[in-house]
Amino acid sequence: MAEENFSYKISPSLLLFLSLFLSFPSLSPAHNQQQSHSITAIFVFGDSTVDPGNNNYVPTLFRSNFPPYGRDYTRQRPTGRFTNGRLLTDFVASYMGLKDAIPPYLDKSLSLEELMTGVSFASAGSGYDPLTPKLGEVIDLPKQLDYFREYKKRLELMIGKKRADDHIQRSAVIVSAGTNDFVVNYFALPFRKQKYTVEEYQYFLLLKFGEFIQGLRDLGPWKIAVAGLPPMGCLPIVITANRGGPFQKRACVDALNSVAQDYNRKLQDELGAIQKRCGNEGCRFVYVDIYGPTADMILRPAKFGFEDSTDGCCGTGLFEASFLCSPKSPMCPDASKYVFFDSIHPTERAYYILFNALRDTVDLLE
């Protein structure tokens, strides 16, 4: 792929908010449709769309444990999820009959049952590139693996090593990261662009991804689902940053979407190569196509009953996220009419629709 000629513009005032949360993978709800499943637990790694509140326990500004986040969650309780309700991983867990919501691992009050059925190690603002999580002082992926090692030792102490090994082997893992690396890091800051072309940076991320997957496999899980990138150029905050003027129609940034599609093709090739090298009939690596269903929802909102797919429900919907989406922010009356809750993250209903589109992919983890 030739090096791109476009210039991705982000004003300094928007960079602060981009530097944390940008990335959203994407599976979603399938509540009240539980079936008989063989998966023992779900473990989650990645960024803001799969972080149920780990950042609440990290000395970072990038949190969402306050209203209006969680306004449609149980008892209207903000938990640290960057949406109005549940995340895609919560609905996957419900669909598999494990639990209604996956908790953050850093919540030290978790019971044995909660630990046994799965936790999330994800941190809003993280990415494969080691530089990306440093921008928001959040939990990088190697540290997320360290927490998984710690988790495994805790489990061994509680139920014994043999049972713990078997439990983790029969679990499912969901990994979602990469958007922050491009939107927050590569296209917003000069450091990586000075060293890598777009294609070189894609391969750099895949190298780091491969290192992460190897570390993950060494800890025992056999079934791993990896989300590709969404249409990054369609995030409301990206549209705002690249809008030519106040009277110009809000539209997706096609050049950035093309980068996402190209990366996703490379990621699928990498997963295929990892699968061939596995050498174990039980291991399974599943690619989760986030791009297609997300783009369909954004570009054809009426098809899904949405009224707005280019603005967030919170505030102006153009740039608010985290502390700018505050209890004092004006809110849309019905978040279910919006694809995005803030300028970056999907609404609970959007996650639900995404899950329905991806349910066959989730079933491949069985």
Q: For Cα atoms 239, 242, 244, give the angle at the middle one, nearest 5 degrees.
A: 110
Of 336, 348, 352, 364, the C-alpha closest to 52 is 348
Q: Are 130 and 185 spatial neighbours (Cβ–Cβ below 8 Å)?
A: no
pLDDT at site 259: 98
What span, in angstroms and rounded, lies between the C-alpha atoms of 92 and 151? 21
Q: Does the pLDDT at position 31 exceed 60?
A: no
pLDDT at site 313: 97
Of 135, 286, 127, the C-alpha closest to 204 is 127
pLDDT at site 26: 35
What span, in angstroms and rounded, lies between the C-alpha atoms of 45 and 265? 21
Cis peptide before 68 (omega within 30 of 0): yes
pLDDT at site 280: 73
What span, in angstroms and rounded, lies between the C-alpha atoms of 320 and 335? 15
Active site amino acids = 48, 342, 345
SS3 for 103?
coil
Mean pLDDT confidence for 10-18: 43
pLDDT in tens, 116-168: 999 999 999 999 999 999 999 999 999 999 999 999 999 999 999 999 999 99
- Dihedral sign for Cα 288, 292, 295, 296, please: negative
SS3 for 177?
coil
Of 327, 131, 314, 132, the C-alpha closest to 237 is 314
Please provide the average confidence, as pLDDT, over all residues in the chain.
90
* CA atoms within 13 A of residue 40's CA, in its CB half-sphere: 14
pLDDT in tens, 329-351: 999 999 999 999 999 999 999 99
Q: Does the pLDDT at position 229 exceed 60?
A: yes
pLDDT at site 148: 98
Mean pLDDT confidence for 278-300: 92
DSSP symbols for 175-221: EE--HHIIIIIITTSHHHHHH--HHHHHHHHHHHHHHHHHHHHTTS-
pTM summary value? 0.90
Banded model confidence at residue 248, pLDDT cuts 50, 70, 90: confident
Q: Give the start-to-end residue ranges of the domains of the chain.
A: 12-363
| 111 C-beta neighbours (distance < 10 Å), count | 9
pLDDT in tens, 171-221: 999 999 999 999 999 999 999 999 999 999 999 999 999 999 999 999 999
What span, in angstroms and rounded, lies between the C-alpha atoms of 257 and 251? 12
Residue 11 DSSP label: -
Q: Are 25 and 49 spatial neighbours (Cβ–Cβ below 8 Å)?
A: yes
What span, in angstroms and rounded, lies between the C-alpha atoms of 73 and 67? 11
Banded model confidence at residue 36, pLDDT cuts 50, 70, 90: low
Banded model confidence at residue 15, pLDDT cuts 50, 70, 90: very low
Banded model confidence at residue 247, pLDDT cuts 50, 70, 90: low
Banded model confidence at residue 282, pLDDT cuts 50, 70, 90: confident
Percent of the chain with pLDDT over 90: 82
CATH architecture assigned to 12-363: 3-Layer(aba) Sandwich (3.40)
Query: Bridge-partner residues for 345, per DSSP?
Result: none
SS3 for 165?
helix
Q: Does the pLDDT at position 23 exceed 90?
A: no
Q: Does the pLDDT at position 354 exceed 80?
A: yes
Banded model confidence at residue 246, pLDDT cuts 50, 70, 90: low
Tell me, rounded to whole angstroms, the distance of Cα 343 from its chain centroid: 15
Mean pLDDT confidence for 24-29: 36
Q: Are 124 and 20 spatial neighbours (Cβ–Cβ below 8 Å)?
A: yes
Query: Bridge-partner residues for 312, per DSSP?
Result: 340
Q: Does the pLDDT at position 38 exceed 90?
A: no
Q: Does the pLDDT at position 16 exceed 60?
A: no
